[in-house]
Amino acid sequence: MIEVKNLTKRYSGGRPAVKDISFKIDKGEIVGFLGPNGAGKSTTMNILTDYLSATSGSVRIGGFDVLQQPNKAKAKIGFLPEQPPLYIDMTVEEYLNFVFELKKVRLDRARHIEEVCRLVKIEEVYRRVIRNLSKGYRQRVGIAQALIGNPEVLILDEPTVGLDPKQIVEIRSLIKRLGKDHTVILSSHILSEIQAVCERIIIISNGSIVADDQTENLSKGFSENSHLTVQIEGDKEECLKALRGIDSVSEVTVTGQKDENIFEYYIETKKNADRRREVFGCAVKNRFVILAMQDSSMTLEEIFMKLTSTAAVSTDKTQKTKPGKEG
């Protein structure tokens, strides 16, 4: 559906804002474009939507080259730019009708606009002036504007920036719903945002793609070995021997003593696999009591920090990460 090849953008002299990036997005995917501020997300999205020209490289949308057949390519895209192009003195009704004409849509106007308003839940503000709407409603109007004309692809640049937590949850669930029958790319500098909505994450840092994988694979793939911290009641030497006897375990060290007969073990296992079941089975077999067990693999948040190690990275600390690291 979307094919980006060797895209580079240099604004003026200096180092490029986007450097030779390539990726493909299939029909129906919801992809998160994640990176710290200044990473090149908006630049890329503006090029995908033909708001901005690339210095080199190509973009195809639904088979059409954005440069060679811009109208055909653009007809397939609905775009919510970082600064939504709202005419704040218009009512929602006037604005959406205006966009309908601008895009030269050939659907039944009244029915189509009504359908879009229902989808993004703005029926109750339809006759109000955009200036007087809350930020959350304005963002919905921005998304409605992108949906006019039923484009197959939705490109949303930081769609939740500036919203309060309740509005964020609402917009997220709206995007998820839209993802059921659209191909969606959304950008954010907040990991939890992307994680909550997207099946696949492309991480961009300093204009380059540093990771591109399914959300779940990303967190697995980066730590070569996984680690478990286990608290076990039982004879220390016997425990060590039994744990070391597990095939997939590469190393066991005692990292603390909690009580006379209770020790904490740090278990390193081979290849990124979850070995909690094997450790549990071993304990049962040897009649040890497991009092606590934590998976200490790298969390996605730590991976993101590592990959984009610039000070500008923002990670939402309110998100629930896997138990383990620092609690």
**Which tokens hold the place of 272?**
């990124």
Distance in Å, CB of 77 to ligand ADP, minimum: 18
Type of residue found at 167: Q
Distance in Å, CB of 83 to ligand ADP, minimum: 11
> By three-state DSSP, how is residue 24 classified?
strand
Q: Candidates 82-90, 93-101, 102-110, 219-227 — which segment interacts with Mg ion by CB under 5 A?
A: 82-90
User: Interface with Mg ion includes 49 (CB under 5 A)?
Assistant: no
Q: Using CA atoms, how far apart are residues 131 and 128, in angstroms rounded to an integer? A: 9
**Which tokens hold the place of 297?**
């693999």
**Which tokens hold the place of 311?**
């000070």
Q: Please tell me the count of residues contacting ligand ADP according to CB under 6 A.
A: 10
Residue from the set 25, 39, 42, 201 that interacts with Mg ion by CB under 5 A: 42
Nearest one of 221, 223, 217 to 198, comparing CA atoms: 217
Residues 42-101 that bind ligand ADP (CB under 6 A): 42-43
Q: Using CA atoms, how far apart are residues 115 and 303, in angstroms rounded to an integer? A: 41
Q: Candidates 79-87, 92-100, 191-199, 238-246 — which segment interacts with Mg ion by CB under 5 A?
A: 79-87
Residue 266's H or E segment, with its range, is strand 262-269
Distance in Å, CB of 202 to Mg ion, minimum: 14
Distance in Å, CB of 37 to ligand ADP, minimum: 4
**Which tokens hold the place of 199?**
């099946």
Query: Between residues 186 and 242, which has the closer beta carbon with respect to Mg ion?
Result: 186
Query: Between residues 25 and 252, which has the closer beta carbon with respect to ligand ADP?
Result: 25
Q: Using CA atoms, how far apart are residues 78 and 155, in angstroms rounded to an integer? A: 6
| 235 φ, ψ (degrees, to nearest 5) | -60, 130
Q: Which residues contact ligand ADP (rule: CB under 6 A)?
A: 11, 17, 35, 37-43
* Contacts to Mg ion by CB under 5 A: 41-42, 82
